[in-house]
Structure 1
Amino acid sequence: MTTPIKDLNLEGKVAVITGGGGVICSVMSKALAMKGVKTAILDLKKENADKVADEIREQYGTKSIGIAANVLDKSSLEAAKKEINEKLGSIDYLINGAGGNAPTATSKVEKIEPSDMEHLEDTFFGLELEGFEKTFDLNFKGTLIPTLVFARDMVKKQRGGIVNISSMNSYRPLTKIPAYSASKAAINNFTQWLAVHFAKTGVRVNAIAPGFLLTNQNRFLLVDEKTGESTARGKKIINGTPMERYGTPEELTGTLVFLLSDWSEFITGIVVPVDGGFSAYSGV
């Protein structure tokens, strides 16, 4: 006799989504709401969080609240947790989606050429430490601190799931953006470490590594503002992606739902590429 396939078992659960007012995480939040998950949308801007929560309630009829919170401010997150527990209940899932890059942590050139010796400010040497710290803090500490706050509920009831948002930059660092690549690599390591640390608590920790999506953070690098055409860098990305296109936020949601559901209850400590084949392609 074969064992019947388990149900997803998501309905009625409570999920916290950081960066929930953004394009990618708002789509993720709605995907969970479609499965009956109650969602707490956290964003630095209250109006962005409220907008997504309002849309979720109107479109899917599931409970959702918008909360202003700063992922780098523990007291802000603790206040958010109190509100979530009062309005939605104990937390079951955490999606660490807040993140981004900064122009001041981005070099103007990909490689130092002999002709650059008189203009080293356009290279690695022109990166601003403040921009590097801002990017690293937002991506890594912005994953660490929310986990410190919101994972407590899961550990106490010995069940739950955390999904961190990494990037293909974590495996193959891209030119120009050392801070972003390094911070996403740190998220991979933290995901594995925490998965082992939580292994006996029933709380699973995994990550998704998206390939290339057009976002507010990278548009200035990939699209020419004047013509609307792909930059040379944008063309390289498309040529390096076997599916020859950018991904969409919706294409991340199947992996998200799977990793949180009972279908993956023996899966922890992995980073799943959702990248159109980028990680498999040598360029030849």
Structure 2
Amino acid sequence: MDFFSLKGKSVIITGGTGVLGTSMTKGVAEAGASVAILGRRKEVGEKLAAEINAAGGKAIALVADVLNREQLVSARDAVKKAFGSIDILINAAGGNMPGAVIPPDKNFFDLSIDAFQQVMDLNLLGTVLPTQVFTEDMAKQKKGVIINIASMASYKPLTRVVGYSAAKAAVENFTRWLAVEMAKKFGEGIRVNAISPGFFLTEQNRTLLTNPDGTFTARGQSAINQTPFARFGKPEELIGTLVWLCSDASAFVTGVNVPVDGGFTAFGGV
């Protein structure tokens, strides 16, 4: 028996068209799952789905905003029509915005409360709401897997990114809370865990961590200095942990937040 196989499972992944989301989408598809790619960029999602299908997998692309319940319900119905059920939910949607960041030349009193709220909504509510919509059938069937994407900021607040740090800390807290809630109310068949990527280059942070010529910015170099592996992660390096948490190989694992970070959380700085 292949404990790591996802054959016969259907997965919906929010934020599936981002740099990390794309890698995770391909990873679960290669493990045998049918994948519904949820995002706001229709063409990007359809291109990714076509690539997976051409490689012998099974994927569909859906357009929905993780903060719009009506759109999420429509997406849920489309996935159930296509695949019959939703067995695994991966909440990969998230992000940051400039107004919720405190740059070196400003301070806390310059924080945009509107931007702070938007970042909290995108990362926290954008995890809670899809979970509520997409896992209702899991509760009825008493079987399913929920994977949230947390952050290094879930372990300790990172300078500058005040909104993102608060939101991702809340995502980890929600993960642990929901793991207990699901197990107590619906049994051991529903597991809830999180993955915390270390420093990976994405569309959103590339200009913060690297210069146009590819060298590190001061912040990028600081991240490298605090990472024992002395490099950024590669998106495909998230796949093994993701497939493990999605599969029966982790049948007794719930309520954990797994760092994939090259040792960042283990390093004390000395």
Query: What residue is the counterpart of 1:266 in the other structure?
Result: 252
Q: List, as ranges, runs of 4+ consecutive aligned residues in structure 1 with deviation greater than 2 Å.
A: 5-9
Report if the CA contact (8 A) 2:38-2:61 is conserved.
yes
Residues 128-173 of structure 1, C-alpha deviations (whole Å, 9 max, x = no match)? 1121111111100110010001011211211110100000111121
User: Which runs of no fewer than 5 residues in structure 1 stay unpaired?
Assistant: 110-118
Query: Contact (CA 8 Å) 2:5, 2:32: kept in 1 or not?
Result: no
The alignment yields a C-alpha RMSD, in angstroms, of: 1.2
| 1:252 counterpart = 2:252 | no
Report the CA distance between 1:7 and its aligned residue: 2.6
CA contact (8 A) 1:63 1:88 kept: no
Mapping 1:113-262, distance limit 5 Å: 122-199=106-183, 200-201=186-187, 202-225=189-212, 227-262=213-248
What is the count of residue pairs matched by the alignment? Answer: 267
Equivalent of 1:23 in 15, 19, 23 = 19
User: d(CA) in 1 for partners of 2:148 and 2:236?
Assistant: 17
Q: Is the 8 Å Cα contact of residues 41 and 64 (structure 1) preserved in structure 2?
A: yes
TM-score (norm 1): 0.91
In the TM superposition, what is the alpha-carbon distance from 1:9 to its structure 2 partner?
4.3
SS of residue matched to 2:96: coil
CA contact (8 A) 1:20 1:52 kept: no
Does residue 93 (structure 1) correspond to residue 80 (structure 2)? The answer is no
Looking at structure 2, the residues matched to 181 and 7 of structure 1 have their Cα atoms a distance apart, in angstroms, of 34
2:98 matches 1:103: yes
Instruction: Please give the alpha-carbon distance, in whole angstroms, between the structure 2 residues aligned to 1:195 and 1:131.
Output: 29
Give 1:75's match in structure 2, choosing from 66, 70, 78: 70
Q: Distance in 2 between matches of 1:54 and 1:280?
A: 40
Q: For residues 159 and 78 of structure 2, what CA distance do their matches in structure 1 show? A: 42
TM-score (norm 2): 0.96
- The counterpart of 2:43, out of the listed 32, 40, 47, is 47
* Secondary structure of the structure 2 residue equivalent to 1:173: coil
1: CA distance, partners of 2:5 / 2:234: 26
Against the structure 1 CA distance between its residues 229 and 8, is the aligned structure 2 distance closer, same or farther, given a 3 Å change threshold? closer
Give me the whole-angstrom Cα distance separating, in 2, the residues matched to 1:84 and 1:167.
28
Corresponding residue of 1:115: none
Partner of 1:57: 53
Greater Cα radius of gyration, structure 1 or 2: 1
Once residues 57 and 271 of structure 1 are traced to their aligned partners in structure 2, the CA distance between those partners, rounded to angstroms, is 31
Q: What stretches of structure 2 of length at least 5 have no aligned partner?
A: none
Q: CA deviation at 1:55?
A: 0.9
Offset at residue 229 of structure 1 (A) = 2.0
